[in-house]
C-alpha cells in the first residue's frame, strides 16, 4: 500500500483537504482512529470531539484512543487498532509530550508504519528526524517516522529566524500556517496549499 502522509496546520485545513478529496479520500465506513496524545495537557476530550466533528460529513467510523501518557503506549489494544485502521489521525498539541509518550513504544512503531497518516498542527513536527522545540525554536531530535523534512508552525519572526539559522541550509524546513497543507507519498514531499513557507537556511525554496 502506498504511504500517504498529510500534515495540516489546523482542523479547518483538514476540512478543506477532505472536501477536495485530492490528497486524502475518506468515505462512508472508513475506519479512522484518532490519537490525541499531544492534547494531554490542554484537554483530550475537547480535542477529540473537534476532530471527530471534522469527519462527520464523510460518514467515517471514528474511534478515539485515549493515549495520554507513555504507559498507555504499550497497551496491546491501542497498538492493534492503529495497525488495523484505514487512517490514523494525530491531534494538535504538545510535540514534546507526544515525543516522550511515543518514543520507543509499540504505539509509536504502529504510528511509524501507518500507511495513511494525518498530523495536525504542532504534532506534525514530531514525525521528522529533526523536530522544532516550541519553547524557543531550536532544532532537536524527532522520532524519525517520516524523513526528508523538518516541520514547524507559525511563530514570531525572531523565533523563526533563530530556527532557520540553527538548521542551516542542509535541512529543509516547512512552516505550516493555519491553512497549511503538506503531503508525502512515501518518496516525495509536496505542498498542498500556499499557506506553507519552505526554506533551507534563510532561502525560500520549493518542495
Strand order in the sheet with 172-176: 150-153, 172-176, 196-200, 203-204
Using an 8 Å Cβ cutoff, are 73 and 107 in contact? yes
For 125, residues 6+ apart whose C-beta sits below 8 A from its C-beta are 95, 131, 132, 134, 142, 150, 151, 152, 153
Taking only the tens place, the pLDDT of each residue in 42-86 is: 788 888 888 888 988 788 999 999 999 999 999 999 999 999 999
Residue 122 CA to its chain's centroid (Å): 7
Using an 8 Å Cβ cutoff, are 183 and 192 in contact? yes
Can you list the domains of the chain with their CATH numbers?
4-146 (3.40.50.880)
Closest CA to 134 of 57, 126, 9, 82: 126
Q: pLDDT digit of tens for each residue in the chain (207 aa)? A: 456 999 999 999 999 999 998 888 898 889 999 999 998 877 888 888 888 889 887 889 999 999 999 999 999 999 999 999 999 999 999 999 999 999 999 999 999 999 999 999 999 999 999 999 988 899 999 999 999 999 999 999 999 999 999 999 999 999 999 999 999 999 999 999 999 999 999 999 999
Using an 8 Å Cβ cutoff, are 116 and 90 in contact? no
The pLDDT, as a whole number, for residue 83 is: 97
Amino acid at each position: 500500500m502506498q504511504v500517504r502522509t498529510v500534515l495540516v496546520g489546523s482542523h479547518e485545513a483538514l476540512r478543506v483537504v477532505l472536501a477536495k478529496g485530492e490528497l486524502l479520500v475518506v468515505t462512508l465506513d472508513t475506519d479512522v482512529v484518532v490519537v490525541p496524545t499531544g492534547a494531554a495537557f490542554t484537554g483530550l476530550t475537547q480535542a477529540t470531539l473537534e476532530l471527530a466533528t471534522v469527519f462527520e460529513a464523510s460518514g467515517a467510523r471514528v474511534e478515539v484512543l485515549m493515549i495520554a501518557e507513555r504507559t498507555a503506549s504499550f497497551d496491546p489494544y491501542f497498538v492493534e487498532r492503529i495497525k488495523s485502521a484505514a487512517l490514523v489521525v494525530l491531534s494538535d498539541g504538545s510535540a514534546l509530550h507526544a515525543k516522550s509518550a511515543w518514543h520507543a513504544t509499540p504505539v509509536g512503531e504502529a504510528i511509524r508504519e501507518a500507511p495513511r497518516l494525518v498530523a495536525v498542527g504542532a504534532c506534525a513536527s514530531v514525525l521528522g528526524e529533526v523536530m522544532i522545540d516550541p519553547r524557543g525554536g531550536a532544532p532537536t531530535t524527532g522520532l524519525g517516522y517520516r524523513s526528508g523534512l523538518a516541520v514547524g508552525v507559525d511563530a514570531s519572526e525572531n523565533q523563526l529566524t533563530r530556527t532557520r539559522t540553527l538548521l542551516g541550509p542542509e535541512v529543509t524546513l516547512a512552516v505550516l500556517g493555519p491553512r497549511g497543507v503538506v503531503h508525502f507519498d512515501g518518496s516525495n514531499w509536496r505542498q498542498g496549499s500556499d499557506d506553507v513557507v519552505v526554506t533551507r537556511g534563510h532561502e525560500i525554496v520549493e518542495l
